Amino acid sequence: MNWLQEYKMSLKNLHAEEPLDVYFYRPLAFLLVKTFYSLPITPNHYSLAALLAGIAAGYNFLQGTSLGFKWGAFYFLLSAIFDCCDGMVARLKKNGTEFGRLIDGVVDYAVNVIIYVTLALGLKKQYSPDLFQPWLLVVVAGVSKAIHSISYDHYLTEYLSYEKGDGGFVVREIEDLRNRLDQSEKSNAPFIRRLALKLYLVYSSLQAGNQERTLVFNPRIYCERNLRALKMWSFIGPSVHISVLIITCILNEPYLLFFYTVGFGNLWLMMMFIYQFKINQELSEERAA
């Protein structure tokens, strides 16, 4: 098996991956994974590396200097690459665990909080000791980014539901977790495994919400009409937000991040809601006819 085939095996469903991940972050992560593949490095080791790199990025952003922003961008890039590595290793070595997936999610949230808080403190140092505006910008940008990510994830999950022809696959995955937890309790499995299953079940349930949906359209037609929309949604996906932050800090213009997130991002969000409504309306009209 050549590296290209292995790379494809290390990915999730291609439609579930953002283009920037497929063509930039994951190829770099794959090279790193292959370099150290023979070593006993687990997905959790890469998650820890992502957290440490995120902390290093935050420390540098906190300095509020041109050099600090550049080094912060470098470490944040490393964190994003390490974050891709854990899932790729788990898929290639088939050694993923519920606890590992929980750790991955916790690290993602922790790194994002660290980055935005330290960036606000760094901006306050750089521009004015008495300036309160960075905090306001960070709050607005953070809320905007969260809305963008939730919206992207919603339409991604909906697309995957139609692609799989199964509107309740997320709910069934959670039900499978409950069954595995029940079996672990009955068999008196090790405490750490039972705890990991419980925590991951809570995490997955909160993240998924009520994801069961009725497939009202023809799955093939829905996917044909929405594939382009899904790629357009990725313009405000998590990977683009990460990339814009890295680039603006390298250029020593971190404020440009807020123009993208609060300005372009929210305008794009409104445009996508209109575009998505138009697609679904056309599908409804065709179904009615």
Q: What is the pLDDT of residue 285?
A: 86
Residues 246/76, Cβ–Cβ less than 8 Å: yes
Domain ranges in the chain are: 1-10+17-131, 142-163+217-289, 168-212
| 229 CB-side CA count, 13 A | 24
Topology of the domain covering 1-10+17-131: Four Helix Bundle (Hemerythrin (Met), subunit A) (1.20.120)
What is the pLDDT at residue 128? Answer: 59
The span from the CA of 195 to the CA of 227, in Å, is 39
pLDDT of residue 35: 92
| pLDDT for residue 133 | 67
CA distance 230 to 199: 31
φ, ψ of residue 241 in degrees (nearest 5): -60, -45
Tell me, what DSSP letter sits at residue 131?
A: -
Tens place of pLDDT for every residue, the chain, 289 residues?
677 778 888 887 777 789 999 999 999 999 999 999 888 888 889 999 999 999 999 999 999 899 999 999 999 999 999 999 988 898 888 876 767 777 887 898 899 999 999 998 888 877 655 555 677 788 888 889 989 998 998 888 888 888 887 655 566 666 776 777 778 777 877 776 677 667 666 666 655 555 555 677 888 899 999 999 999 999 999 999 999 999 999 998 888 888 999 999 999 999 999 999 999 899 988 887 6
Maximum C-alpha span of the chain: 64
| pTM for this predicted structure | 0.85
pLDDT of residue 152: 93
Helices in 11-96 by DSSP H: which ranges?
19-20, 26-35, 43-62, 66-93
